[in-house]
Amino acid sequence: MNYMIHACEARMWYVDEFLIPSMVEQGINRNDIEVWCDTDHVGCLQATLDSFESCGSRPGGTWHLQDDVAISRSFAHITADHDDGIVHGFYFRHIDEADLHPGKTSVMKMGYSFPCCRIPNYIAGEFVEWYKTEGQHREEYQEWIRLRKHVDTFFIDFLREKHPDKFIYNLKPSIVEHVDYLVGGSTVNKWRIVPARATYFEDYDIIEKLKERIAHRN
C-alpha cells in the first residue's frame, strides 16, 4: 500500500499533527505515507504533475490525498480492499452534475475526486507525458495553466481522450471529508464561500471531534 499526501507549506501543521497520525492510528505504516509538499511554490498544477511523474516509474498504484481532508474510521480497511485500478474515495456533487454512480463506471461518466483517489502509477506517468507533449500546448488550456490549477479536469480530459474504454470505481460513502474550512480555507479556490463537503460521508462525529481538537490546538 502506498499513500501520497499533496501538501502546501501552510498546511503542514495539519498534515503532521492530525492527518498522518489519524492514518497511523488505523494501522497504516508510516513508511507507506509520502508527503509531497510544494516547498518551491510552483502551484497546484505543477506540483501535482511533478508528484505524478515521480510515481510513473514505480510498480502498482498510489492512493493520493490532499492536505485538507479528514479520513473516515474505515479508511485504512477500504483502501486496502480497493487497491486496484482507478478508485474515487471522495464525491462532491457539482451544480448540474449527475448524481454519483456507485461502483464500477466508465471514465466517460467520472467526476472529480482528487481529494482522495487511487491511481495506477503507470497512468499517472502517462498523464504527465500527455500534458507535456499535448495538453500544455492547446489553446483551450492556456487560462488554466496561467492560473496554475484545474489539474483534476486535465486528468479527466486525459483519461477520456486516451483511455475512453477504461472504468473507474466510485466508493459510496466517501472515505474522506473535505475540511479546508477548518484549516484556513481553500488555498486554490479562494473565492469559495461554502465548503465543498462530501455529498456522502457518514462519520460526522470524527469531524466534530477534529474541530474541537484543532480549536484547542490553536
Tens of pLDDT, residue by residue over 63-75, are: 999 999 999 999 9
> Residue 59 pLDDT more than 80?
yes
> Residue 188 pLDDT more than 60?
no
Q: Which residue segment(s) compose the domain that 90 sits in? A: 3-217
CA distance 60 to 201: 28
> Residue 58 pLDDT more than 80?
yes
Tens of pLDDT, residue by residue over 23-39, are: 999 999 999 999 999 99
| Residue 48 belongs to domain with CATH number | 3.90.550
> Residue 125 pLDDT more than 60?
yes
Average pLDDT, integer, range 98-123: 91
Q: So what's the pLDDT on residue 124? A: 98
Cα radius of gyration (the chain): 17
Looking at the 3D structure of the chain, how many domains does it have?
1
* DSSP helix/strand/coil, 89: coil
> Residue 186 pLDDT more than 70?
no
Tens of pLDDT, residue by residue over 74-110, are: 999 999 999 999 999 998 876 566 677 889 999 998 8
